[in-house]
Amino acid sequence: MFVRLVYESFRRQKRRKLLAGAAITLGVTVATAMIAVATDIGDKINRELRTIGANLVVTPQEDSLDVEIGGVNLKPPTDGAFLNESDLPAIKGTFWHNNITSFAPMLPVTVAMEYGGTREDVTLLGTYFAKLLVYGKEEFTAGVRSTYPLWRVEGAWPDDNGSGVLIGDRLATRIHWKPLQPIALSGRMYHVSGILYTGGPEDDQIVAPLSLAQEILGRPGAVKRVYVSALTKPEDAFARRDPKSLSGAIYDRWYCSPYPQSIAFQLAEAIPHSHAEQIRQIAQNEGAVLTRIEGLIFLITLAALFSSALAVSAAMATAIFERRAEVGLMKALGAGKVAVASIFFAEATLLALIGGMAGFVVGSLLAHQIGHSIFNSEISIPPVLLPVILAIAVIVTFAGSAAAIRRAVGLDPVFALRGEL
């Protein structure tokens, strides 16, 4: 009897059920999309912030002091210690290798440049552009093109294994360099494949493949610094603790959190004789910006959940209020309060589940669409969200119906049937 009542109610009142169902679907759609966006926004914005540049740097442990002004090294280039290029792929073997989006080794060398009758000492920066590396069975590319996506080249990027170089924009203007003309560096002619715009000291330098810089320096396999771009978690008091003072489970927790400090610690472990630390300008501010944006989206998601809950409650209240006469009839025929209420609650649950499922599907599509149109990447929706969303839908539908059902059940059937209330 109970099942039949509920079933018939759905069959005969298609319009009303459709309206209430549509409201639930809409509410759940908005909730799903916003929760999906909110849980993923940190990662998305983190990736956007990575375009500003590397946030970690690895240097040789026993390095002598840098004597560098405006990107020009004033020290004999063979001075100091070096890292070994062949150790670099091990960066991808660290615990947080999935968070390391890219890295670029650097080797600055001072060279004598001759061009159009002028002769001066300039810095030649050896690096990877987009070099294919292999660690174990994994292949990946590393280099400045992914570490510094804002570097722009007019012309073509040189080949990592070739001998083409890039000339910095200010240097090119200063020496009146004309496109496609080769330049002489330390007595040898090099093909210049393009002009590089970075907005940093590289604008006054020549940027070349790493192997070329090593050849000029006469130190095969040498690397001065490695800039690493990693997705990190904003630093907190726990992050700043010294790993040496931690023990056991606390150390493990520190080690397995993607703080800039712990990733730097792991980098120094992975590369022999190295020292790694965060570039505070990038790493510190990143955390602050990230926290703000995440906080904002979180608060807005709350607003979205609140307004969709209201929409669902309003729709349910209206739907039940319209059925006063039915309640009156049921009560007149001898149904108790509990029986009437349970019919309504059963209907509400059914509606919530159907609407919730539909809303979850539409909301996932919507989140997907938002991810593509704004961030050009997928917004992943954790499957655990489905039961959570359904539970929220049922609770909200119940809460929205409760007041209306209580009033409907409390009505005197005589008045209700006469339609006077």
Considering only residues 9-68, where is the footprint of another protein by CB under 8 A? 19, 23, 26-27, 30, 33-34, 37, 41, 44-45, 48-49, 51-53, 56-57, 63-68
- Binding residue count for another protein, defined by CB under 8 A: 76
**DSSP bridge partners of 123:** 110
Decide whether 212 or 393 has the Cβ nearer to another protein: 393
For residue 234, what are its two tokens? 């904003």
Decide whether 17 or 211 has the Cβ nearer to another protein: 17
Decide whether 42 or 158 has the Cβ nearer to another protein: 42
Decide whether 345 or 375 has the Cβ nearer to another protein: 375
Decide whether 191 or 406 has the Cβ nearer to another protein: 406
| Least distance between another protein and beta carbon 215 (Å) | 26
CA–CA dist 203, 181 (Å, integer): 18
Residues 305, 311: contact at Cβ < 8 Å? no
CA–CA dist 266, 277 (Å, integer): 10
| Least distance between another protein and beta carbon 73 (Å) | 11
| Least distance between another protein and beta carbon 44 (Å) | 7
Please state, as a whole number, how many other Cβ atoms lie within 10 Å of the Cβ of residue 187: 8
Using CB under 8 A, which of 160, 204, 235, 347 touches another protein? Answer: 204
Diameter over CA atoms, the chain: 109
Nearest to 274 by CA among 132, 14, 94: 94
* Near another protein in 273-332, by CB under 8 A: 277-285, 288-289, 292-293, 295-297, 299-301, 303-304, 306-308, 310-311, 314-315, 317-318, 321-322
| Least distance between another protein and beta carbon 302 (Å) | 10
* Near another protein in 241-280, by CB under 8 A: 277-280
| Least distance between another protein and beta carbon 65 (Å) | 5
Report CA 330 to chain centroid distance, whole Å.
56
| Least distance between another protein and beta carbon 289 (Å) | 5
Decide whether 188 or 418 has the Cβ nearer to another protein: 418
CA–CA dist 160, 179 (Å, integer): 20
Using CB under 8 A, which of 174, 191, 337, 372 touches another protein? Answer: 174
Please state, as a whole number, how many other Cβ atoms lie within 10 Å of the Cβ of residue 24: 29
| Least distance between another protein and beta carbon 396 (Å) | 12
| Least distance between another protein and beta carbon 29 (Å) | 8
User: Looking at the chain, how many residues does it have?
Assistant: 421
DSSP string of 14-62, one letter each residue: HHHHHHHHHHHHHHHHHHHHHHHHHHHHHHHHHHHHGGG--SEEEEETT
Decide whether 103 or 164 has the Cβ nearer to another protein: 103
Q: Is 380 helix (H, G, I), strand (E, B) or coil?
A: coil
Please state, as a whole number, how many other Cβ atoms lie within 10 Å of the Cβ of residue 113: 21
CA–CA dist 85, 50 (Å, integer): 24
* Near another protein in 89-128, by CB under 8 A: none
Place of tokens 């704004």: 374
* Near another protein in 363-392, by CB under 8 A: 366, 370, 373-375
| Least distance between another protein and beta carbon 199 (Å) | 3
406 near another protein (CB under 8 A): no
Report CA 254 to chain centroid distance, whole Å.
21
337 near another protein (CB under 8 A): no
* Near another protein in 140-159, by CB under 8 A: 148, 150
Quick one: which H or E segment has residue 67?
none
CA–CA dist 330, 291 (Å, integer): 55
Dihedral, CA of residue 278, residue 284, residue 287 and residue 290, to nearest 10: -120
Decide whether 213 or 282 has the Cβ nearer to another protein: 282
Burial-class residue 185 by CB neighbours within 10 Å (0-12, 13-18, 19+).
buried
**DSSP bridge partners of 84:** 222
Decide whether 5 or 311 has the Cβ nearer to another protein: 311
Decide whether 53 or 105 has the Cβ nearer to another protein: 53
| Least distance between another protein and beta carbon 104 (Å) | 14
Decide whether 157 or 164 has the Cβ nearer to another protein: 157
What single-letter amino acid sits at 141?
T
